[in-house]
Chain A
């Protein structure tokens, strides 16, 4: 009787039962327009673009200051341009939106517990707002002296 070759039994194919592909619904590129919550999320993320706009304006101001008083006056005049003004008004709403949504997320990102009980979200977010007001007042005082 021929002996069973151990190598061939090791190489036996591993059969699995048949399974159809999992169903993945096709998601439209415009998925974010479907619900207000989705739109709010995308607007929050797009606030980063307007943050970038403010940084670019700050770099332009620094360049103008390096170039001399006339360049600085020219920069201030440029800020009065109606198109720039519209951009800045829109940017202002978006950057404040960023600030508010950022501070309001902090209690969710870092749940604070005191003696086992969860501290209310308002109390965790409030110090950030206080710091925001204090820092803003200080910066304004420094610049407008």
Chain B
């Protein structure tokens, strides 16, 4: 039988990450990147954010929020390098850099979110 490709698996991660990114990334950036630092809205208190962080569902949400868009970036950036910059001959390095980077971010997110006092 011909060698099976793993592309479908990575594409699924890309697709799921794309949906999560499309729905959730803009509002988070708008709040913490623009509205709160610029004083358009009152900054949430430390206690309020910690009380949110202590809810397990919120930590799962944040893990998905971090992990899936990272894999979306990994897949998309990999093919942008192949097609845009025409560096397909470096495909092993690019593969490790992209998916390895996404995996690293996922592990960091899991570590940070595992235990909140």
Q: Which residues of A contact B (CB under 8 A)?
A: 27, 29, 32, 42, 45-46, 48-49, 51-52, 54-59, 61-63, 65-66, 68-69, 72-73, 76, 79-80, 85, 88-89, 91-92, 95-96, 98-99, 102-103, 128, 131-132, 135-136, 139-140, 142-145
Contact = CB atoms under 8 A, between A and B. Distances in A.
B29 A69 contact: no
B53 interface: yes
Contacts of A145: 44, 48
B93 interface: no
Contacts of B62: 58, 62
B52 to A, nearest CB: 7
11 contacts: A52-B70, A55-B25, A59-B112, A79-B33, A80-B38, A91-B33, A99-B26, A103-B22, A135-B23, A135-B24, A136-B30
B96 interface: no
A68 B42 CA distance: 19
A58 B28 contact: yes
- Secondary structure of the A contact surface, majority rule: helix
B28 A102 contact: no
B32 A57 contact: yes
B34 A92 contact: yes
A31 to B, nearest CB: 8
A45 B83 CA distance: 11
A99 B20 CA distance: 10
Contacts of A73: 46
Interface residues of B, number: 49
B47 to A, nearest CB: 8
Contacts of A66: 112, 116
Contacts of A79: 32-33, 36-37
A68 B46 CA distance: 8
Contacts of A63: 112
Contacts of B37: 76, 79-80, 85
Interface string B37-62: 11001111010111011000000001
Nearest to B66: A55
Nearest to A27: B86
Contacts of B42: 144
